[in-house]
Each structure stands twice: as structure tokens, then as C-alpha cells.
């Protein structure tokens, strides 16, 4: 998977991207990630990347031309046209489902906005999709891009040890994960559930499924509307007070 990030703060991105699982994925050659400094793609002597917006109002806007030149340079280096994402509070909110779809793509190009954002004509010219990391406004696109790259990168083949490392996690199958415990078995008077220590795999699997359903019902009941539920799951949820009809409304 190739990912190019266009940013005014490459050092901010690099620090995060060389750490932990994403850093290891890069070292192992599974993730080919490059950060491109937008200022290098200016042609005026002051390396300006921004200007005032047309019409009344305050603030500055990233100009289309340096952003476009950076994009063209990346197309040239990689010898391909990437899938172009603009990080934006106006985009569709990132989900695990979209992260998984994006992890199957060969090459992503991520644009980090700043100030008041970017000239709309650049978006119209090259952007395939706008992605938001939530309904709030950040100063720049870097934190969003890092969230996106982390969410996608760990799903790429060979980055985590096994697919089960992510396929059993929250949101992968529409539910939240079950609670987990590690040693010691007794901590501050709190015990690890007995069933997890008795080695009966079938019983542990059922316990985990029910704990996952309970977690989801208690923390994010709206997820149950779209989660793939078996009749056995629904029966269990009803014992908790869940009402299917009510939740569908
Ligand atoms: C201050 S924001 C601009 C907001 C823009 N004026 C608006 O109201 O839609 C500057 C940049 O931060 C990034 N950004 C801000 N909030 C974001 C979010 N929730 N998700 C992803 N990127 C975000 C975008 O790249 C944006 O261009």
C-alpha cells in the first residue's frame, strides 16, 4: 500500500508515522508512506501557499496551484494516479468499513488543509472523496490524516500478525468487542471471569459473543440496528431488555 500525504507540517506526521505498528509496517516494507512538504511546490520567492479568500471574511485559504503541483509530482514519482482524499470536516465521517475498503486500494493521496481550508477548484479538479474524523473542526488536516493512515495501515496485509487481530475488534463485525483481562487473575478484589480460565473454547466463544452484544447494547445500542445478528443473539439481547422493533424506529 502506497500513501502520500501533502502537508504543511511533514515533521508532525513523520514523528507519528515512524512509531509503533505503522512504523513497523513501514520498516517491513508493507506500507510505503511519504510526506510531502507543500511549500516545496511553490514557485514564488516567498514560498507562499495561501492567500485571502474572495468575498468578505477573515482568514487565509490554501491556494490551488501548490497543492496541484504537489499532486502532479506524486503522480510522476509513483507513475500512477492515486485515489485522492481531502481531509475535511465536511466529508463523510470515517468508519471501520470505509477504512477496510481503503486498505484494499493500492495508492492513496491525502491532502491536509489548513487555515480556512483549500480553494474549492482544487477539490473539484482532483479530489475523489472528502473524509472527516468527526463533527468538530480541527486547525489542520494532519491529525485527521494520521488517524486515517493508522486506521487503514493496520488493516493492510502483513502489518498486524493475524487478520484476527482486527477482525475480532470493535466495529469490524458491527459490534463492540467483549471485555478483556490479563494477569493477575485477582486485582483490587476484582476477579477475571471464571469461564475465561477454564479452557473450554466453545463456552469462551459464546461468553465473548454475549459480552460483545451486552457491551454494544449498553454503550452503543444504535449499532444493533445494522449489526448482523443471529436468532440466538436476538434472544440473548431480549433478555437484556432490547426490543428489536423499538430499536429499528
Ligand atoms: C480550520 S479547518 C477549515 C474548516 C472549514 N473552513 C470549514 O468550515 O469547513 C482547516 C483544515 O483542517 C482540516 N480539518 C478540520 N476539521 C476536520 C475534521 N473534522 N476532519 C478532517 N479534517 C479536518 C481540514 O483539512 C481543513 O481544511
CATH topology of domain 186-248: 1.10.1270
Q: Is the CB of 144 under 6 A from ligand 1?
A: yes
Q: Is the CB of 142 under 6 A from ligand 1?
A: no
Residue 242 pLDDT > 90: yes
Residue 249 pLDDT > 70: no
Owner of C-alpha cell 516567498: 46
In the prediction, which pLDDT does 166 show? 87
Asked if 85 and 98 count as a contact pair (C-beta separation under 8 A), the reply is no
Q: Label residues 55-71 b or e (16+ Cβ within 10 Å = b).
A: eeeeeebbbbbbbbbbb
Asked if 82 and 107 count as a contact pair (C-beta separation under 8 A), the reply is yes
Asked if 31 and 1 count as a contact pair (C-beta separation under 8 A), the reply is yes
Residue 248 pLDDT > 90: no
- Listed by start position, the domains of the chain span 2-153, 186-248
Each residue of 64-106: pLDDT tens digit? 999 999 999 999 999 999 999 999 999 999 999 999 999 999 9
In the prediction, which pLDDT does 246 show? 57
Asked if 175 and 216 count as a contact pair (C-beta separation under 8 A), the reply is yes
Give binding residues for S-adenosyl-L-methionine as ranges.
113, 133-138
Each residue of 33-72: pLDDT tens digit? 999 999 999 999 999 999 999 999 889 999 999 999 999 9
CATH topology of domain 2-153: Alpha/beta knot (3.40.1280)
CA pair distance 205, 31, nearest whole angstrom? 33
What's the whole-number mean pLDDT along residues 228-240?
A: 98
Q: Is the CB of 114 under 6 A from ligand 1?
A: yes
CA pair distance 138, 88, nearest whole angstrom? 9
Position in ligand 1 atom list of the atom nearest CA 140: 12
Average pLDDT along the chain: 96
Q: Is the CB of 96 under 6 A from ligand 1?
A: no
CA pair distance 100, 172, nearest whole angstrom? 9
Each residue of 155-165: pLDDT tens digit? 999 999 988 88
What's the whole-number mean pLDDT along residues 220-231?
A: 97
CA pair distance 168, 147, nearest whole angstrom? 20
What's the whole-number mean pLDDT along residues 131-144?
A: 98
Ligand 1 mean position, distance from CA 137 (Å): 5
Ligand 1 mean position, distance from CA 152 (Å): 20
Angle at 81 between CA 77 and CA 87, to 5 degrees: 100
Q: Is the CB of 88 under 6 A from ligand 1?
A: yes
Residue 170 pLDDT > 70: yes
What's the whole-number mean pLDDT along residues 139-159?
A: 97
Ligand 1 mean position, distance from CA 8 (Å): 14
164 C-beta neighbours (distance < 10 Å), count: 10
Give binding residues as ranges.
113, 133-138
Amino acid at each position: 500500500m502506497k500513501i502520500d500525504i501533502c502537508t504543511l507540517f511533514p515533521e508532525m506526521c513523520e514523528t507519528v508515522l515512524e512509531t509503533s505498528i505503522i512504523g513497523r509496517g513501514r520498516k517491513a516494507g508493507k506500507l510505503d508512506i511519504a510526506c510531502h512538504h507543500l511549500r516545496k511546490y511553490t514557485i514564488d520567492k516567498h514560498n507562499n501557499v495561501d492567500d485571502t479568500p474572495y468575498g468578505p471574511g477573515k482568514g487565509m485559504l490554501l491556494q490551488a496551484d501548490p497543492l496541484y503541483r504537489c499532486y502532479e509530482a506524486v503522480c510522476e514519482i509513483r507513475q500512477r494516479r492515486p485515489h485522492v482524499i481531502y481531509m475535511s470536516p465536511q466529508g463523510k465521517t470515517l468508519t471501520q468499513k470505509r477504512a477496510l475498503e481503503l486498505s484494499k486500494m493500492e495508492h492513496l493521496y491525502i491532502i491536509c488543509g489548513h487555515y480556512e481550508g483549500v480553494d474549492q477548484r482544487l477539490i473539484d479538479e482532483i479530489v475523489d472523496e472528502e473524509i472527516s474524523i468527526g463533527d468538530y473542526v480541527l486547525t489542520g488536516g494532519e491529525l485527521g490524516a494520521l488517524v486515517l493512515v493508522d486506521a487503514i495501515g493496520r488493516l493492510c496485509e502483513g502489518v498486524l500478525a493475524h487478520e484476527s487481530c482486527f477482525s475480532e475488534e470493535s466495529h469490524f463485525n458491527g459490534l463492540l468487542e467483549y471485555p478483556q483481562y490479563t494477569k493477575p487473575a485477582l486485582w483490587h478484589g476484582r476477579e477475571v471471569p471464571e469461564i475465561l480460565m477454564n479452557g473450554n473454547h466453545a463456552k469462551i466463544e459464546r461468553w465473548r459473543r454475549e459480552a460483545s452484544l451486552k457491551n454494544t447494547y449498553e454503550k452503543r445500542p444504535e449499532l444493533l440496528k445494522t449489526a448482523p445478528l443471529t436468532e440466538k443473539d436476538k434472544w440473548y439481547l431480549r433478555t437484556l431488555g432490547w426490543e428489536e422493533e423499538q430499536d429499528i424506529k
